[in-house]
Chain A
Amino acid sequence: MVRLTTEARELSDYRRREESVSFSEETVVEGDRELLTLNIGPHHPATHGVLRLVVTMDGEIIRDVNPVIGYLHTGIEKTAEVKSYWKAIPVIERMDYLAYYFNGMGYCGAVEKLLGIEVPRRAQYLRVIHLELNRIMSHLVWLGTSMLDLGAISVWWYCFREREQLLDLFEMSSGQRMHTRYVQVGGVGEDIPPGWEEKVREFLAIMPERCEVYSDLLSKNEIFLQRMRGVCPMEAEVLRTLGVTGPLLRAAGDPWDLRKAMPYSSYDEFEFKIPIGTQGDNYDRYAVRLAEIKESVKIVEQALDGLPEGPYITEDRKVALPPRHELATSMEALIHHFKLVTEGMRVPEGEVYNAIEGPRGEYGVFIRSDGSSKPARVHMRDPSFINLQATPMLVEGSLLADMIATLAVMDPIIGGVDR
């Protein structure tokens, strides 16, 4: 029997693990052409996170892509099972780290459905305002970073300038720039502070104009157009069978948007359009997102105009903390506060699937409750995870450089993919 040295054993173990990664279905030599397997990532600036791509190429042409994920898996769903319902919100917000309001909204909406509680109208409007500001923020980060991948550096600075303004707004309303934990079960964490509305309106006044700036920088840029137009198109039907949702699907001409189709949180009270594309190529994906920013601005304006008075979180003391001033005078408030902070709320037994429209598509949350104060199972249908499945079909037959561009334009957030 041959005893392997430690070094050799490590090497063989490495080989064994690599063996199960299927590099390509095709033979290595195809006629007189040789296929090349290229590994990109997991740490590579163009992969937008810790994503690994095993690419099989014929010269410059992509024949097959195999995304290998899981490098950012942090077991958030498992962690949520040992936290009481409202203490799970912060970990869940950290999944799709560019859409934290959406994470919180999807999760809290699901818990509210299980509890059967009504969210006050002011809270619904405040949620909508923050969700749409978050959508703008997410699209700005997407625009800046993907154009960086195409070599357009200046637009990145402009996008992040506006994003900074948004993060300041988030900080003002919740105390945090990212992962704000603003959406709570039953409402929102805090009412908006004085002066916040004016600041939002200032931002809304400049944002459409700024969109024109991005558009001027990009839409008339010949290099940009050549890199985007007609690159990696896909029909809406194919995308639908792959489960792709959000701007990627709408760019292919399918106007499916949960905000319109199955409204939640008073989205039916706002006037807005759903931008769609015609070709389903990278240019349409860019144009749809840019148009969505403008629509989000309109929604926030309407929500600020019609912001109803009233409580910002449900009055149900079993679900929401009592206001601070009550603690000094009311024994009951103190008991409720104590019970909620130590044990958390008890949620009736049941299961629910709650879906909202995130910046990347349908963000769904499945919760199983066993009647205790901790969820028995939390599962996310993260749009990045589902959309990323379409990568091999999208980029097959395109150039390597176009694959990098397409991956950027697909906008997968690896925190959401790996959870």
Chain B
Amino acid sequence: MPDAAELERLAGVVGADSVLGTVHTDCRSEISIRPEAIVSALARMRAEGYEDLRSVHGVDYFPEEPRLCVKYEMLSRERLDRISLSLRVPLEDPRVPSVTPEWPTANWPEREAYDMFGIVFEGHPDLRRILMPEDYEGYPQRRDFPIGGEPVIFTHNEDSVPGWFD
């Protein structure tokens, strides 16, 4: 994890016009950026030695606005260091440029974030649901999606569960 000074330097590398802020805690260094700048930001981090994209997480900050968030965990194998990039999009317009063309490893994680949060990754080659059924409605990992929001279908109640046969 880079220290505070290094984090500020890296934020400068990403570019003042695309950085919204930095977070530095005991266990995390994070640069939050504008959604439209993600592709160039990741490319600049790659030039800085952060060559591996390890993970893409979708997060819901309900009830804060903008609500939906995507986090990119970067790893530098030279510096043995990790840094995160983060971006926030509003619920009404959850569009983020896809990084899959440059980072093939982001393919399924982006599909997962789309599936679970409804974040649309523009330019993704194959943006479909991945874990939930194809015809599923709703985004189950959102904070306002209730647990048990979907009836469990058994043989005895399959006729009475609404929407099951239609």
Contacts and interface: CB of A to CB of B under 8 A. Distances in A.
Interface of A: 6, 9-10, 13, 16-17, 20-22, 69-70, 73, 75, 77-79, 81-82, 113-114, 116, 240-243, 256, 261-262, 350-353, 355, 362, 364, 366, 368, 376-377, 379, 381, 385-386, 388-389, 418-419
B52 to A, nearest CB: 7
B131 A351 contact: no
Contact of A352 (B28, B140, B165): B28
A85 to B, nearest CB: 15
B77 A366 contact: no
Nearest to A385: B108
B141 A261 contact: no
Given A78-B147, A351-B28, A377-B59, A16 B77 contact: no
Contacts of B133: 17, 70
Contacts of A116: 26-27
B22 interface: no
A20 B131 contact: no
Given A261-B80, A353-B73, A17 B135 contact: yes
A119 B48 CA distance: 33
A386 B27 contact: no
Contact of B55 (A6, A20, A366): A366
Nearest to A19: B134
B131 A418 contact: yes
Given A22-B126, A241-B105, A364 B73 contact: yes
B165 A6 contact: yes
B55 to A, nearest CB: 4
B55 A364 contact: yes
Given A17-B135, A389-B105, A362 B80 contact: no
A91 B58 CA distance: 20
B56 to A, nearest CB: 9
Contacts of B160: none
B130 A69 contact: yes
Interface string B54-65: 110111100000
A70 B82 contact: no
A9 B128 CA distance: 23
Contacts of A114: 27
Contacts of B151: none
B54 A243 contact: yes
Interface in B132-162: 132-135, 140-141, 143, 145, 147
A243 B110 CA distance: 13
21 contacts: A17-B133, A17-B134, A20-B128, A20-B134, A69-B131, A70-B133, A78-B140, A78-B141, A78-B147, A240-B52, A242-B105, A243-B54, A261-B80, A350-B27, A352-B28, A353-B82, A355-B82, A366-B73, A377-B60, A386-B108, A418-B131
B98 interface: no
Given A16-B135, A243-B53, 14 more contacts: A9-B166, A20-B128, A21-B134, A22-B126, A70-B129, A70-B132, A78-B147, A241-B105, A261-B77, A262-B80, A351-B28, A352-B28, A355-B82, A379-B55
A242 to B, nearest CB: 5
Given A77-B141, A243-B53, A113 B134 contact: no
Contact of B30 (A20, A73, A351, A362): A351
Nearest to B71: A366
Contacts of A377: 57, 59-60, 141
A210 B109 CA distance: 39
Contacts of B134: 17, 20-21
Given A113-B27, A353-B73, A379 B58 contact: yes
Contacts of A75: 140
A70 B59 contact: no
Interface string B1-45: 000000000000000000000010111101000000000000000
* Residue from A75, A353, A377, A381 having most chain B Cβ neighbours under 10 A: A353
Contacts of A241: 103-105
Contacts of B71: 351, 366
B108 A389 contact: yes
A203 B151 CA distance: 48
A69 to B, nearest CB: 6
A256 B75 CA distance: 12
Contacts of A385: 108-109
Nearest to B25: A350
Nearest to A370: B61
Contacts of B30: 351
B23 to A, nearest CB: 8
A82 B80 CA distance: 34
B28 A350 contact: yes
B77 A256 contact: yes
Nearest to B142: A78
Nearest to B51: A240
* Residue from B105, B130, B134 having most chain A Cβ neighbours under 10 A: B105
A9 B52 CA distance: 47
Contacts of A13: 135
Contacts of A381: 54-55, 73, 109
